[in-house]
């Protein structure tokens, strides 16, 4: 094959004034200056570019030589022509003016340690998947999710979480947030008008339910979890985190679990179970999923966002039979299907038990980090940690009636968050998670999973100093 047919494409527009050589030089110079051609990028041969642009080879050679003399290109005999490392204007920062820089210590809740992503296991699974892939894997996917992942999930969830379901009742979605949006619309279309959601609870998810057209009623939470006695007969759905309530960290009491499923059966209601932090219980085996006690009334929701990373956009819902078909239609209308290769890689990780091994290692790491955090909190009298030993965060509030609380007045949460920000520590406040923040308890959520292992001690030091500052104690 002639060499010029083997050259790669380079988009060049020969606009402007002057002869062809000058216009080519201007176009290439502009591409280098603006960064469209990055340092080290290889350019086509003079013969290949001349053929592509309909120019004489000598014209292209002369343009290359001129730009090499100016320092824009590097020409090496036998190695071709590449773009030189030319200084470029510093781009404007992303986001509106005043956007804060990324925190040095990210202690927000719900974030895993991304530096511990099982890269080797993921690469090995990817190689196995691609080696065995049939051509149809690269075609359009199944809106319900690839059967290999649905099968792997059905077995894994039954084994580890007590979920009762076959692959036909699993729907794969692109993240829990998408699944929640789709399910809320399906429920609204089926005639559901009101839904209950934990108070406090995740405000982003609560807003998604509202946008679907449902009226969201607050479901109070105490030290035994959601107050099931507050559910009314006319409510068609309840959204809960029964295993590890977000944000208080308490599990739903056994008697309340029974009362919840009895309420759903009596009124034909749907319980949406977000198995938040279900994999991370540190003092004993996690409580089994609520879905296992009422599979025809509970939608079980899970995701890899807390175990692998939110960028994968892989989540699943195990649905009562009557909701499977409408959810599949909703998924198809939303984005046709979730990308297939990631599904197959996750299915391989689960089937090979690499996923189990990763979670066990993370569980040990996060348990140790939680203990270190609580040791620091214990040295600051007046702060109270809430929740069972589980999850990726701890809720801290001021002890009621303490002199510390009296000294800080009503701005306790604000002062703690501001002190953290000054030390480069990102936290989250409790009040924004209430349906109505007026007069509600204040506190901060401290995540202990996100910093890389080597950075966690420094993050704890900064957090302790920030809290000591806010509490008026020596830091």
Q: Is residue 22 part of a domain?
A: yes
451-461 b/e (C-beta count within 10 Å ≥ 16 → b): beeeebeebbe
Per-residue pLDDT averaged across 25-33, rounded?
91
Q: Are residues 338 and 216 in the same domain?
A: yes
Give the structural domain span for 27.
Answer: 3-83
The tens digit of pLDDT for each residue in 148-168 reads: 999 999 999 999 999 999 999
Is 475 domain-assigned? no
pLDDT surpassing 50 at residue 404: no
pLDDT in tens, 277-319: 899 999 988 889 999 999 999 999 999 999 999 999 999 999 9
Instruction: Let me know whether 163 and 304 are in one domain.
Output: yes
If you average pLDDT over residues 348-371, what whole number do you get?
Answer: 97
* Residue 91: inside a domain: no
Q: Around Cβ 42, how many Cβ atoms within 10 Å?
A: 13
Q: pLDDT tens-digit profile of 426-449?
A: 999 999 999 987 777 889 999 999
The CATH number given to whatever domain includes residue 76 is 1.10.10.10
The confidence score (pLDDT) of residue 1 equals 40
Neighbours of 17 (CB within 10 A): 7
> Which CATH number does the domain housing residue 362 bear?
3.90.1150.10
Per-residue confidence band for 88, with pLDDT thresholds at 50, 70 and 90: low
Do 186 and 304 fall within a single domain?
yes
Asked whether residue 371 falls in the same domain as residue 343, the answer is no
For residue 99, is it within any domain? no
pLDDT digits 0-9 by tens, 100-144: 557 899 999 999 999 999 999 999 999 999 999 999 999 999 999
Residue 368, pLDDT score: 98
One domain for residues 365 and 335: no
Reading the block at residue 294, the tokens are: 């009422």
Instruction: Confirm whether 95 is domain-assigned.
Output: no
Q: In the prediction, which pLDDT does 4 show?
A: 44
Q: Could you tell me which residues come within 8 angstroms of residue 143 by beta carbon, excluding any fewer than 6 positions away?
A: 328, 329, 331, 332, 336, 337
17-40: average pLDDT: 90
Domain boundary among 297, 323, 352: 352
Both 337 and 237 in one domain: the answer is: yes
pLDDT of residue 395 exceeding 90, the answer is yes
Q: In terms of pTM, does the model score above 0.75? A: yes
CATH code of 246's domain: 3.40.640.10
Same domain, 288 and 157: yes
**Closest listed residue to residue 32, CA positions, set 61, 77, 58, 64:** 64
pLDDT (0 to 100) of residue 399: 65
Average pLDDT score over the chain: 91
How far is residue 266's CA from residue 137's CA, in Å, rounded to a whole number? 44
Can you spell out the DSSP letters for 56-92? Answer: -HHHHHHHHHHHHHHTSEEEETTTEEEE-----PPPP
Q: Is the pLDDT of residue 206 over 80?
A: yes
Segment of 13-22, 29-38, 448-457 carrying the highest mean pLDDT: 448-457
Rounded to whole angstroms, how far apart are CA atoms 371 and 448?
Answer: 10
Answer whether residue 97 shows pLDDT above 80.
Answer: no
| Per-residue model confidence (pLDDT) at position 85 | 87
pLDDT score of 401: 46
Query: At 409, is the pLDDT very low, low, confident or very high (cuts 50, 70, 90)?
Result: very low
Cβ neighbours of residue 254 closer than 8 Å, sequence gap 6 or more: none
Is 162 contained in some domain? yes
Q: Are 314 and 303 in contact (CB under 8 A)?
A: yes
Residue 138 and residue 208 in one domain: yes
Q: Indicate if the pLDDT at residue 98 is higher than 60.
A: no
Q: Residue 22 above 70 pLDDT?
A: yes
Give SS3 for 197. strand
**What average pLDDT does the segment 317-325 reach?**
98
Do 346 and 362 lie in a common domain? no
Question: Of 306, 326, 352, which residue sits at a domain end?
Answer: 352
How many domains does the structure of the chain reveal? Answer: 3
Query: What pLDDT score was predicted for residue 423?
Result: 95
Q: Cα–Cα distance between 316 and 327 in angstroms, integer?
A: 11
Residue 400 lies in a domain: yes
Within this chain, do residues 77 and 158 fall inside the same structural domain, yes or no?
A: no
153 and 279 share one domain: yes
Ramachandran assignment for 175, one of left (phi > 0), alpha (psi -120 to 50 degrees), beta (any other): left
Give the end of a domain, one of 320, 352, 384: 352
Residues 325 and 234 in one domain: yes
Distance CA 4, CA 302 (A): 53
328 three-state secondary structure: helix
Of 7-16, 69-78, 420-429, 453-462, the range with the lowest mean pLDDT is 7-16
Within a domain: 98: no
More confident residue, 348 or 14: 348
């Amino acid at each position: 094959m002639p060499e010029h047919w083997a050259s790669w494409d380079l988009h060049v527009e020969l606009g402007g004034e002057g002869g062809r050589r000058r216009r080519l030089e201007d176009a290439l110079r502009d591409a280098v200056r603006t960064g469209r051609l990055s340092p080290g990028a290889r350019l086509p041969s003079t013969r290949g570019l001349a053929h592509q642009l309909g120019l004489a080879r000598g014209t292209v050679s002369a343009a290359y030589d001129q730009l090499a003399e100016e320092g824009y290109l590097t020409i090496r005999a036998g190695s071709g022509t590449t773009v030189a490392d030319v200084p470029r204007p510093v781009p404007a920062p992303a986001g509106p003016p005043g956007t804060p820089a990324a925190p040095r210590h990210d202690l927000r809740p719900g974030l895993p340690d991304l530096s511990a992503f099982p890269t080797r296991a993921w690469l090995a699974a990817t190689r196995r998947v691609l080696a065995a892939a049939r051509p149809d894997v690269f075609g359009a996917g199944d809106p319900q999710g690839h059967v290999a992942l649905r099968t792997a999930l059905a077995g894994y969830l039954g084994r580890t979480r007590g979920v009762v379901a076959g692959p036909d009742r699993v729907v794969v979605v692109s993240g829990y947030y998408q699944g929640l949006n789709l399910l809320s619309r399906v429920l609204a279309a089926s005639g559901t008008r009101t839904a209950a959601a934990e108070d406090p609870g995740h405000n982003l998810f609560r807003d998604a339910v509202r946008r679907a057209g449902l009226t969201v009623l607050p479901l109070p939470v105490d030290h035994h979890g959601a107050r099931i006695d507050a559910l009314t007969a006319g409510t068609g759905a309840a959204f809960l985190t029964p295993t590890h309530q977000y944000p208080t960290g308490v599990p739903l009491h056994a008697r309340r679990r029974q009362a919840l499923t009895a309420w759903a059966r009596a009124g034909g209601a749907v319980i949406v179970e977000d198995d938040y932090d279900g994999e991370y219980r540190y003092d004993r085996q996690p409580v089994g999923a609520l879905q296992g006690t009422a599979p025809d009334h509970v939608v079980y929701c899970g995701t890899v966002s807390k175990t692998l990373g939110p960028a994968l956009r892989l989540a699943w819902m195990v649905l009562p039979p009557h909701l499977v078909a409408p959810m599949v239609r909703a998924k198809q209308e939303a984005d046709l299907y979730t990308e297939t290769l990631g599904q197959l890689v996750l299915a391989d990780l689960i089937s090979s038990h690499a996923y189990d091994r990763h979670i066990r290692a993370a569980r040990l790491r996060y348990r140790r980090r939680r203990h270190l955090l609580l040791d620091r909190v214990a040295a600051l009298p007046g702060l109270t940690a809430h929740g069972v030993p589980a999850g990726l965060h701890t809720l801290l509030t001021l002890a009621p009636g303490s002199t510390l609380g009296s000294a800080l007045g009503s701005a306790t949460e604000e002062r703690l968050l501001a002190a953290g920000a000054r030390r480069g520590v990102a936290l989250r406040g409790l009040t924004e998670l209430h349906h109505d923040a007026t007069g509600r308890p204040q506190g901060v959520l401290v995540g202990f999973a996100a910093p890389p292992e080597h950075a966690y001690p420094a993050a704890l030091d900064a957090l302790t100093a920030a809290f000591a500052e806010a509490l008026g104690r020596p830091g």
